[in-house]
Chains A and B, each alone.
Chain A
């Protein structure tokens, strides 16, 4: 029994579970007809551009098998690019090329990717291998993000991204996901990425976990995780909050990255954001969700919502 919590202990701390998330939040606040706005990254991108939300460059779209051969032409002159399925889920099927040399492609860890492998990968995307339900998909070719060096040393081989849960337009909880050697450069917590809980008020780190266990330093670089302060925090909160108006989903996960030049970019939206953010914050999310649910009156503006969230959802570091 040492490894298991009692249900009432979790309930006392307001820990949201999978069944309750599905029935009481996703089922209740996310209308099925708006799902395609987040499940199809191409639509998300178009909506974001229409709403003045910054997103990574779209280099091209591969809709058909024969267009795969045009990819080298598309990325000509670039130092790197990303190929991802428009309807992928859980970060599946994303191919990141960070280095192009003499027409040869290299992954972040230095492995070469042959044109044959690129072809097969995109072919798999088109067949719907990575999409929900296996439906045919299209491949997006995006520009490589110039990562803000502020996170150098906090992430190994990969993309540190900022996940914010936005409930009815209020950013309620946030975390920074730092890839590690264990996670193979991926930012998924269950694969071994480090999750750093962020204070909604300030963007400072509060707590950090890897494999659900608290950590103080990044396992590969030994950087102090308590030193993290996400820059442009207000812009991030505003972007996340305005995504509510954009896609009209009440319970929403926003994934953003910081570009050296362009600032915060909206990477993708998620209608079924995971529960690991609670572990990363060392705190249940249910209290905040109930708080927002209890708010009466007309919908506030984005600025007012962000101000409200910063005032009510602040926490103290717990390292």
Chain B
């Protein structure tokens, strides 16, 4: 007997790759595992204002670039202005106009989705900064503090931590008081870091809080350590970044430049929003053109076709399980799957009633046809045509009675129904009505279970959004094809053989 090892390795590979691609999809593209999942997003509006001077004006606003937030949608509006958004390392929106007079207001709106990626990695090792040149009056005081702190520290970070503690110490030394009288805490922190050659930069961040208006960017300092930029909020004596802080500008560039205007300022208002996680991830994929191997890149019509087709593996899986493991007999191997597909259109109860009506009428007509001594092919063809008549008749009757459910009966696969009628009619003649009811009932039972599986919203969601699931289904079907154990019905059938001998 040949080894089954390669087979099981193959199945395991299928299974693992199916699971992995699904997880990859969920993690990389943020496709949520469950339908109806919601994500928080922030709608932030930056309002740029300046006074025009009746001359050409150009306003350039830095745009957020932060690994902790993805830009889902952005737009900038302002009547009469030309707009250019420059991509690259330093993303900026540049508004321009030939003549600006009076108070000008420009708006930039962005929808930000948190990614949870709070760590800011340095793309390359920053160069050691030039030592800061202190004012003569400050140099002595500064150097004293710097040297004291440097002695007590071991690394960039511990130096920064110690510095921040000293700067925020409530028992200020005279030296510090002198320095703080001419510098802000953040500036002083940055200068003292640079004096010892520690790479650090000032960044501007915006705290996101629901329904806030007229907010300003706050200064923070990022200190470099081991490939990572660590954020220090010196004013509030805090290290590390909170989740609701968006880094608006962190390239050391200005936040806002206005040429041809004065008295410029920018303030922010923000709103917390809840939106569908799936729609968000699809929008994100659209933005980044990474709809690779997603059915969402198909036209809508094909998408809905695929939504139906991708349910068939589920139905097939149910049939394989019920036949191989449970041992239910059906008339026609995959007929129940096709019936279940029709049930999805008709809903279960209407479908069951419609199916029974059509088959019952079909059997009546068929019993007449059987007296006519027809060739099999023309008899089946006649049954197909009669099935179409019956469907048409029921549709008309239910329409006239105002039963809109009856209209969906046209979704039944007619050829399959005709064959079902033919097989059941033969079964009736050969083995009696009991067998017909057993076999038909079994088929309807399997169809109902397949329908329940296929109409489940979660399953519908998974088979369409995680195509890897189908590899898992394939693996399961293959494994069941190797099952040599007892079927559930056989445990009953062979019960008399179970006694101890």
* A19-B484, A127-B375, A129-B376 as given contacts; A7 in contact with B497, CB under 8 Å: no
Partner pick for B497 among A4, A28, A191, A278, CB 8 A cutoff: A278
Q: Which residue of B lies closest to A318 (CB)?
A: B501
Structural contact, A24 and B484, CB atoms closer than 8 A: yes
Q: Which residues of A contact B497 (CB under 8 A)?
A: 5, 10, 13, 15, 278-279, 282-284
Starting from the known contacts A212-B496, A213-B496, A214-B496, 14 additional A-B residue pairs (CB-CB under 8 Å) come to A5-B494, A5-B495, A9-B498, A10-B491, A10-B494, A10-B497, A10-B498, A15-B486, A17-B494, A19-B486, A123-B376, A127-B375, A127-B377, A279-B496
- Confirm or deny: A92 has a beta carbon within 8 angstroms of a beta carbon on chain B: yes
Interface flags for A133-175 (1: CB within 8 Å of B; 0: not) read 0000000000000000000000000000000000000000000
- Confirm or deny: B5 has a beta carbon within 8 angstroms of a beta carbon on chain A: no
Interface flags for B357-380 (1: CB within 8 Å of A; 0: not) read 000000000000010010111000
Q: Which residue of B lies closest to A28 (CB)?
A: B1
Q: Within residues 467 to 496 of chain B, which ones have a CB less than 8 A from any CB in chain A?
A: 482-488, 490-496
Cα A17 to Cα B486 with chains together (Å): 6
* A23-B482, A123-B375, A124-B376 as given contacts; A5 in contact with B370, CB under 8 Å: no
Cα A6 to Cα B501 with chains together (Å): 15
Q: Within residues 332 to 391 of chain B, which ones have a CB less than 8 A from any CB in chain A?
A: 370, 373, 375-377
Q: Which residues of A contact B324 (CB under 8 A)?
A: 19
Q: Which residue of A lies closest to B379 (CB)?
A: A127
* 29 A-B pairs (CB sep. < 8 Å): A3-B492, A4-B488, A7-B485, A7-B486, A9-B499, A10-B486, A10-B490, A10-B498, A15-B486, A17-B485, A18-B327, A18-B487, A19-B483, A19-B485, A19-B487, A20-B484, A92-B430, A120-B373, A123-B376, A128-B376, A191-B431, A212-B495, A212-B496, A214-B496, A278-B494, A279-B493, A279-B496, A282-B496, A284-B497
Structural contact, B373 and A123, CB atoms closer than 8 A: yes
Q: Which residues of A contact B431 (CB under 8 A)?
A: 191
Query: Which of B370, B485, B494 has the most CB atoms of chain A within a 10 A radius of its CB?
Result: B494
Interface residue range, chain A: 35 or more
Q: Which residue of A lies closest to B380 (CB)?
A: A127
* Closest-CB distance, A238 to chain B (whole angstroms): 29
Q: Which residues of A contact B492 (CB under 8 A)?
A: 3-5
Partner pick for B484 among A23, A120, A128, A214, CB 8 A cutoff: A23
Cα A282 to Cα B500 with chains together (Å): 12
- Confirm or deny: B426 has a beta carbon within 8 angstroms of a beta carbon on chain A: yes
Q: Which residue of B lies closest to A188 (CB)?
A: B431
Q: Which residue of A lies closest to B325 (CB)?
A: A19
- Confirm or deny: A116 has a beta carbon within 8 angstroms of a beta carbon on chain B: yes
* Closest-CB distance, B466 to chain A (whole angstroms): 30
Structural contact, A17 and B490, CB atoms closer than 8 A: yes
* Closest-CB distance, A64 to chain B (whole angstroms): 12
Q: Within residues 44 to 95 of chain A, which ones have a CB less than 8 A from any CB in chain B?
A: 65, 92
Q: Which residue of A lies closest to B370 (CB)?
A: A120
Cα A209 to Cα B493 with chains together (Å): 12
Cα A79 to Cα B355 with chains together (Å): 47
* Closest-CB distance, B213 to chain A (whole angstroms): 69
Structural contact, A129 and B426, CB atoms closer than 8 A: yes
Q: Which residues of A contact B373 (CB under 8 A)?
A: 116, 119-120, 123
* A19-B484, A19-B485 as given contacts; A13 in contact with B498, CB under 8 Å: yes
Q: Which residues of B contact A119 (CB under 8 A)?
A: 373
Q: Which residues of A contact B483 (CB under 8 A)?
A: 19
Cα A283 to Cα B324 with chains together (Å): 23
Q: Which residue of A lies closest to B495 (CB)?
A: A5
Q: Which residues of A contact B491 (CB under 8 A)?
A: 4-7, 10
A-to-B contact residues, CB < 8 Å:
3-7, 9-11, 13, 15, 17-20, 23-24, 28, 65, 92, 116, 119-120, 123-124, 127-129, 191, 209, 212-214, 278-279, 282-284
Interface of chain B, helix or strand or loop or mixed? Answer: helix
* Closest-CB distance, B368 to chain A (whole angstroms): 13
Cα A128 to Cα B379 with chains together (Å): 13
Cα A279 to Cα B494 with chains together (Å): 7
Cα A7 to Cα B495 with chains together (Å): 10
Partner pick for B490 among A9, A18, A127, CB 8 A cutoff: A18
Q: Which residue of A lies closest to B372 (CB)?
A: A120
Q: Which residues of B contact A28 (CB under 8 A)?
A: 1
* Closest-CB distance, B61 to chain A (whole angstroms): 70
Query: Which of B376, B377, B498, B499 has the most CB atoms of chain A within a 10 A radius of its CB?
Result: B498
Cα A3 to Cα B488 with chains together (Å): 11
Structural contact, B484 and A3, CB atoms closer than 8 A: no
Structural contact, B487 and A17, CB atoms closer than 8 A: yes
Q: Which residue of A lies closest to B1 (CB)?
A: A28
* Closest-CB distance, B101 to chain A (whole angstroms): 87
Q: Which residue of A lies closest to B482 (CB)?
A: A23
* Closest-CB distance, A180 to chain B (whole angstroms): 14
Q: Which residue of A lies closest to B481 (CB)?
A: A23
Structural contact, B495 and A4, CB atoms closer than 8 A: yes
Q: Which residues of A contact B485 (CB under 8 A)?
A: 7, 17, 19-20
Q: Which residue of A lies closest to B2 (CB)?
A: A28
Q: Within residues 382 to 424 of chain B, which ones have a CB less than 8 A from any CB in chain A?
A: none
* Closest-CB distance, B329 to chain A (whole angstroms): 11
Q: Which residues of B contact A15 (CB under 8 A)?
A: 486, 494, 497-498
Q: Which residues of A contact B377 (CB under 8 A)?
A: 127
Cα A20 to Cα B499 with chains together (Å): 21
Q: Which residues of A contact B1 (CB under 8 A)?
A: 28
* Closest-CB distance, A292 to chain B (whole angstroms): 15
Cα A10 to Cα B431 with chains together (Å): 30
Cα A92 to Cα B1 with chains together (Å): 35
Cα A309 to Cα B408 with chains together (Å): 62
Q: Please list the 8 inter-chain residue pairs (A to B) with the smallest Cβ-Cβ separation, ordered nearest first.
A: A127-B376, A5-B498, A20-B484, A9-B498, A4-B491, A120-B373, A5-B495, A17-B486
Q: Which residue of A lies closest to B480 (CB)?
A: A19
Q: Within residues 419 to 437 of chain B, which ones have a CB less than 8 A from any CB in chain A?
A: 426, 430-431
* Closest-CB distance, B369 to chain A (whole angstroms): 11
Q: Which residues of B contact A128 (CB under 8 A)?
A: 376
Q: Which residues of A contact B495 (CB under 8 A)?
A: 3-5, 212
Cα A165 to Cα B337 with chains together (Å): 36
Q: Which residues of A contact B499 (CB under 8 A)?
A: 9, 13
* Closest-CB distance, B380 to chain A (whole angstroms): 9
Cα A15 to Cα B496 with chains together (Å): 11
Cα A19 to Cα B490 with chains together (Å): 10
